[in-house]
A and B are shown apart, each in its own frame.
Chain A
Amino acid sequence: MTIQKTPTADMAEALRLAMLRANPDLSRFDPLPRIISHDDFSRGHCGWSQLVGNYEDDLDTMLPGYAQHTSAMISTLGHWDAGSHGGMDSSYALKIATRARAGARNVAIKRHTFRKRGPIRFEVYFTFKPEANELALSETDVRSVGFLFDLQGGDRDNADDRIMPHIRFLNAENGKHVQKWQFKPETTKFKTIGTADKTVSHDHLAPEGWRDLPDGGQRLCYNEIPTKINWTYLCFDFDLESMRATGFRCNDRTFDMSGFRSISIPAMKNLWCMLNFCLFAETDTDKRAFLYVDSVCISGDF
């Protein structure tokens, strides 16, 4: 429920903030009033599973972009030269690894539905590195890391669209250290899967169609050899009522989202109230790219 602005509500909010800030597990987040999930990967995979592509009768019908995906891992960020790096306050983090082929990607997904169309917030502590198989900084080997939502209104909402906000940090492209945030307003054409007229597929993470966020350049802390990492914070706000992005922050930077657009495609007959979250990595070279996620907090105002 949304708390009304009354003296009692002010006290409730003050109490909520005091309890949040005194809780070592949650104090580093700024959640909205209801925490939908809080994923600390010392407690397992927390529902972050592999994004598998659609298919019918034969796995060969799966689009190649999805066929390459594998399951995420629970990692200690173990390195050949320095041992386990560990997470922010446990030994473990979620690890999303691409295959060792330029342009390869991998995606982990968490699938929910929503109870109310209102504000939601997605907060993540993350870092990324390539596989440390060279004695070199390798700062341009990871192409990007990013996240997306996959959303659709309720079955009585007259919701005509499936909405998919995408954001990635384009770290490098063709060997150039680009370091900028991008969004993706378009997907590929839909392809019919199989013959039963039940399944279609589209590759919304296809390489084409990314656009720069205004003033979206950001030099993240990368450190000085491929086995040293630093955790980075991001926070993305989205309103399920208007289906618009309302804010995006990364560490000390706040980005202008007025020009942001989500992928918008016709609503599907079986995805009502869908509230999916994805995290992904892409490699720019024939070397595995690793997205590590220390923790995720998904919250809402409902």
Chain B
Amino acid sequence: MEIVRNFPALSIVMCMVGAILSSVLPKKLTRILNLLVITGVMVLSGFVFFYTLSNGSFVYTMGRFPAPWGNEIRAGVLEGMMAFFFGLIMFLSILGGRRHFDIDVKKSRQNLYFIMTNLLLSSLLAMVYTNDLFTAYVFVEINTISACGLIMVVQNGRTIEAAIRYMVMSLLGSGLFLIGICILYDITGNLLMTPVQNKIAEIAADPARTYMVPLVVAIALLCSGLAIKSALYPFHSWLPDAYGYSTVSSSAMLSSLVSKGYIFLLIKIIYRVVGFEIFKDSKIINILFIFGLIGMIAGSVKAIQEKDIMRMIAYSSVAQIGYIYMGFGLGSEAGMVASVFHIFSHAATKSLCFIAAMGLRDASDGSKKLTELTGAGYRNVLAGAAFTVAAFSMVGIPAFAGFISKILFAQAAVGEPVKMLPTVICLAISTILNAAYFMKTVLRLYSKSDAEYEKVNELKHPVYALCLVGFVALNVALGIFAVPVVEWITMGLGMFS
């Protein structure tokens, strides 16, 4: 067996060992270790990606016992890409937010913060690579707790309240997910994805339809559990506070990684457990579609009303999650591809928004209020430019990542005659609303103000400047070299079934 096949398992264990060591090492070393772990994950998943690109997907038994007796993980093109991308975003977010991290987080808590980030990465990787429903649940738990830790590491009343809200909603989601797994186990007798899928195909083809009701309930529970955890519209109430008041690195990671991990898990469950055709035939897909559409518009409306830049960006996330679920709801291969591409483009853009907003706030005496940010684009040139790029990408200006995902959504919608009209109308409305609040902010950044704040020269913070440049490059790369990315996504989704 080639050595590359060991890499997914090794990268998960490496993150865990990094977290364990972080609890005893001195502070400086934990930071270096954290960056080393993330770089290691990126390198290993890069190898996995190129290996699967030429050799196809593979399963790796975690131990001596093959499925259905032992644990398994599975890697394909999409998994490798996702793992690499998560590592990259985390690397840039942590480095980019470092300047505020030292101010926001007490010295005694800094080691603990890196335990959380390492374990967060390990849980994301496990959720990406898993081929076992129960393993997925265990790592969903780790993900929930570490996200809570990331929120409340800044200790004030707001973050504690946000963390409690997050905890309550997230545990509700985990509970529903667990009940769903239990019902699936009861009717299939397996927990590993491949045997469960075979059994579900038998159940669906069974003319007596003995277990059809439990199957539909289980699918509904799995979907709603993960939808609550990834903040689909009516379940978004925990999100603005959690993203808005935590330290910048946390906000960037929460918005672009945590919710995306759950969405990727849902994609995996749709393809590898339920089977795309059975999922499409169930009515649940229409519910996801409707909530996605509502979320696209409601999130944007909420964002327009906000006067606080961090909360505005947070509400914009609600709208973008709506896009992704709308893509699921279309129920076609093209819709799925568009959703997966939007996971990438939104993750790259939203974390850039948060990191750039931090620079703009520094140039406005740390204020989060939009009114205070007037003219901040002149006072902090680099952050202003980066924020503009992010806003362009969010709105969907050509040559940036957001444009491609909108085009893909529109193309996918055209293929579905019934759902075409609502999708296209909502896309248009949402794009206009997006433009309303993002362009408003950009215009504000570049208008003259009377406020006398000090200019910030980003050349004095080379790490931060490099992170911004990295994010901008990532956005432009996703926008320009979209064709191979879309090809890889299609190939990865093809490997799922």
A and B: partners? no
Binding site for B on A (CB under 8 A): none
Binding site for A on B (CB under 8 A): none
